[in-house]
Amino acid sequence: MREEFILSTNPEYKMSPMPNELRCNQAPSEGTSPGQTKKKNNKTEVILVTGGAGFVGSHTLIELLQAGYEVVVVDSCIRSKPPQDGQRLPAVLERVEDITGKRLTFHMISLLDRDALRKVPSESIGTPLDYYHNNITGTVTLLQVMCEVGCKRLVFSSSSTVYGSAKYFPTDEEHPTGVDVRSPYGQSKYVCEQMIKDLYVSDKEWKVVLLRYFNPVGAHESGLIGEDPLGVPMNLMPYIAQCAVGRRELVQVFGGDWDTPDGTCVRDYIHVMDLAEGHKSALEKLFDNSFTGVKPYNLGCGRGVSVLEMVTAFSKACGQQIPAKIVKSTKRVTWARRFVLPIGGGEPGWSASRTVERI
């Protein structure tokens, strides 16, 4: 028998397999030998991972496969590279299999395609409607199909943007949400959280963990996968990496007069493998019979890193100075000044361990 539930990873973090020029100068880690499938009460634990070909999703797959879960991946590959002719998997998922020595199942399906979902075995300011459509409509469709098949356990990748303009720092899970949220992306995540909470009110069999995180960075230590988005990077780390290999001239730092120690924006950056381990811990939480309801957890390091500190750390790690220039910021909004999260209170059995130097 198979015991199934869903892990939904953030769709906005898309990636390609790391090209040679962006890979770490480290030997690939040895893939684990195929082991027994993880079981509970004689049932195979099957995890459906939506957005699994993305940056966060692909790294989370490594943790799940190495933990012995059977994994099924759904991804539309709209912003990542799809399988080439004759290939069973996108290249990034082939590398996940190489790293883990485990096999996964992949379906190139959009969450908006309800009929296709039934067939699966047992840049937001500029495009607000896309974010509302993908995040809200996609989540509604997923929840509806889950109801139809009786799968009522979910790890939902939310975002710290649901806190809006934070009233205090570091921001914990008790902070109000949905107030003064400044982006369509954040609003869509808030709406999704509310939908899930309303669903639980109507059906107490649901068990849901909401993971709120902010800036995933870094890559698997093998260097085989990482964040190399199609088009112009919207996040800091891949932009710095592309400057390091000469794809881009310099890092533009938007604003040098924020209310921070060095005047540049401060964020709580979390290593993507810490984040992946957090997803695995959340899954284990759902398997605990004592867990009930819908609970949010922040996944962060609890310490802020500025843009200039990140550029300096990357320069030291790669052995060359990354050029950076402070330019005027056109978006003077209070939430951009500082957003530091705690580590989730330790309740899910998780804490971030990787420093900015490790990132």
Q: Rounded distance, CA 128 to CA 28, Å?
A: 39
213 is catalytic: no
Cis peptide before 170 (omega within 30 of 0): yes
Among residues 13, 69, 131, 185, the one annotated as catalytic is 185
Q: What's the half-sphere exposure (Cβ side, CA atoms, 13 Å) at 324?
A: 23
Contact 339, 168 (CB under 8 A): no
Q: Which residues have a Cβ under 8 Å from the Cβ of 161 and sit 6 or more positions away?
A: 181, 182, 183, 185, 186, 189, 214
Contact 298, 343 (CB under 8 A): yes
Instruction: Report angle CA 208, 211, 212 to the nearest 5 degrees.
Output: 140
Contact 52, 11 (CB under 8 A): no
Q: Rounded distance, CA 55 to CA 66, Å?
A: 18
**Phi and psi (nearest 5°) for 155?**
-105, 115
Smallest CA-to-CA distance from 7 within 195, 154, 193 is with 154
Smallest CA-to-CA distance from 324 within 271, 262, 268 is with 262
Residue numbers annotated as active site: 185
